[in-house]
Structure 1
Amino acid sequence: MRLLLTSDTHLPKRAKRLPAPLLDEVARSDVVLHAGDWADTGTLDLLESRSRRLIAVYGNNDGPELRARLPEIAYADIGGLRFGVVHETGPAQGRETRCAARFPDVDVLVFGHSHIPWDTTAPTGLRLLNPGSPTDRRRQPHCTYMTVTVSGGSITEVDLRRLPPR
């Protein structure tokens, strides 16, 4: 099963549209997970229309229209794993311990907010993934998203995808 992880699209503030490689990946993915900060409902509408399955949350920059359509935290069983999606997890220091305590029944936690790609595993086995941002690299060298392959009830591949400069 192929997953696309994205977050912090911030359209149209940071970019006018989603990058073509990301949209191409939507078509190839079984599930798209978006960890918030859409900033506009048009992007949500687009991903809803193009995704086979969309699991998404709102972020701190999302207004009332998005908050009315999306939860703060989403949970889904995907390929034998229990996924959680949330926008903010707090500071990097102590993240694994804090998230393992907050999400004890989750195997994989997808989060955003920082625009900094992240892939770690807590001592409890919780995998934490932040795909960065496909439209706003901030202090990162590249805009990014992630693809994840799930097979036999486990993650077999995580790939951080760098987007070409705009």
Structure 2
Amino acid sequence: MPVSLVLTSDTHVPQRSRDVPHSLWAAIEAADVVVHAGDWVDVALLDQFERRSRRLVAVHGNNDHGPLRERLPEVARVEIEGIRLAVVHETGDRAGREARCAARFPDTDVLVFGHSHIPWDTTAANGLRLLNPGSPTDRRRQPHGTFVTATAADGALHDLTFHAVPPRS
């Protein structure tokens, strides 16, 4: 049975935004599984995600301290519809990322990561797919914020879409 996914990271609430965009909340409430790759900043946002998600897979980031580090691991691993998924906040420099992550996560099909706020979708030589959903609230040098939706079925991701979040006016 297909499983709908939402991937997000680097929400930085309330540091960079008062809340996540309405389009992301709508996607979260519709999804079977929500993946957050860290940098929540405030534990209140984690509480909201837990209330509004059917199933949450999440890690802490470098800007997460106190209760966030107590409640969330550095690395999360889960199997969804035959896909071995891992989540981590930081993967290091862009150069050599695929090889470095393939060595660190050898028994993983998809690695979701954050930190850079830059959307990323590549595949390492060993078949590991690396996905960074970007940030829905802090676009940095990107034209807009982003998050990802996808469907997991039959051991693969389908219909993977990066959703643009327009800057708040």
**Shared fold (TM-score, shorter chain, > 0.5):** yes
> Which amino acid is the alignment partner of residue 118 of structure 1?
W
Instruction: Tell me whether 1:134 sits opposite 2:136 in the alignment.
Output: yes
- 1:143 equivalent in alignment to 2:153: no
Tell me by how many angstroms 1:165 deviates.
Answer: 2.0
Percent identity reads 61
- Structure 1 residue runs without a partner (length 5+): none
Equivalent residue of 1:66, what SS?
Answer: helix
Q: In the alignment, which residue of structure 1 is the partner of 2:82? A: 80
Corresponding residue number in structure 1 for 2:98: 96
Alignment TM-score, normalising by the size of structure 2: 0.97
How do 1:17-166 and structure 2 match up within 5 A?
17-166=19-168
Please give the TM-score of this superposition, normalised by the length of structure 1. 0.99
Secondary structure (helix, strand or coil) at the match of 1:32 reads strand
Question: How far does the alpha carbon of each residue in 1:52-87 deviate from its partner, in whole angstroms, 9 at most, with x for none?
Answer: 100000000001210000000000011111100000
Equivalent pairs counted in the alignment come to 166
Distance (Å, rounded) in 2 between the aligned partners of 1:156 and 1:66: 31
1:157: Cα distance to partner? 2.0
2: CA distance between counterparts of 1:120 and 1:72?
A: 22
Give, in whole Å, the separation in 2 of the partners of 1:58 and 1:74: 10
Alignment deviations for residues 83-123 of structure 1 (CA, whole Å, 9 cap, x no partner): 00000000111000000000001100000000000000001
What 5-or-longer segments of structure 2 have no aligned partner? none
Task: Output the amino acid matched with 1:32.
Answer: V
Residue type of the partner of 2:45? T
Distance in 1, Cα, partners of 2:38 & 2:156:
24
